Amino acid sequence: MTPELLARLREAQAAKRPVALLTRLSDGEQRLWPDDDVPGPLAEAAKSALREDETGTVALGDERWFVHPHNPPVRLIVVGAVHVAQALVPMAVALGFAVTVVDPRRAFATPERFPGVSVSFDWPDDAMAALAPDGRTAVVTLTHDPKLDDPALDVALRSPSFYIGALGSRRTHATRVARLEAAGIGEDRIARLHGPIGLYGPTRTSSALALSVLGEITEARIRLDG
């Protein structure tokens, strides 16, 4: 890899921009898609590799190319260091999510309760603005406290996050929607909000709810990839 190509790859990674590194196996020539012009079939292979997050080879006439996707990590931002979060976070980490727990209440968001993951003690709207959720980010709010959940949802619903969910009953969710509407968030954005969260409806344990929520997040991700 040339220094110039390596610099471009690192720049894309720093910007959390998905790119595919294409290497011609016969002589090692490399290109970066979508930055460089490549033939249509090779571009389609790069696009597919990014969508599936899988490496592979593709034939282009007599040439074979190795396609290596470089996607930003799929992230999960959890607002509220509550009991459900303690069940949800380890499951999400095991599935490969880069997890950040947001909670200004330092008594809850401790390394002992959430070992090995990033923790933000900022107020949720500040934390969300700094984290800048993108199209590979899921956001879940769990506190039941409008002072914490609503600022995070305000930022999330204005972002391209592929999943946004909020814990609470149907009655709680209806009240939440009314608050978000009063805050000036349009119906089209509010329609993106999952609530009550989870595939399976009410659950008896935090672990069951965590599994239900991760199932819904996974379903949303698969649907997005199409």
- 125-151, pLDDT tens digit by residue? 999 999 999 888 999 999 989 999 999
What digits encode the pLDDT tens for the residues 100-129? Answer: 999 999 889 888 899 989 999 999 999 999
Going through 63-146 in order, the beta strands assigned E by DSSP cover 63-70, 75-79, 98-102, 118-120, 137-141
Q: Give the pLDDT score at 226.
A: 53
Please give the distance of CA 63 from its chain centroid, rounded to a whole number.
36
pLDDT at 60: 87
Which of 54, 70, 86 is where one domain is finished?
A: 70
Strands of the sheet with 56-60, listed across from one edge: 30-33, 19-24, 63-70, 56-60
Regions in the chain scoring below 70 on pLDDT: 201-202, 224-226
Which one, of 178, 136, 121, 118, lies nearest residue 153 by Cα? Answer: 178
Tokens found for residue 177: 């929607």
Tell me which DSSP letter residue 139 carries: E
**Residue 191: DSSP 8-state:** T
- How many domains in the chain? 2
Same domain, 17 and 110: no
For 142, the token pair is 């769990």
- 79 in the same domain as 16: no
Whether residues 112 and 25 share a domain: the answer is no
According to DSSP, the residues that pair with 137 across neighbouring strands are 75
Q: Where are the alpha helices (DSSP H) in 115-205?
A: 124-131, 146-156, 170-182, 187-190
Alpha carbons within 13 angstroms on the beta-carbon side of residue 65 total 25
The answer on 144 and 92 residing in a single domain is yes
88 and 10 assigned to the same domain: no
Query: 9 and 117: one domain?
Result: no
* Helix, strand, coil % over all residues of the chain, rounded to 5: 40, 20, 40
pLDDT for residue 61: 86
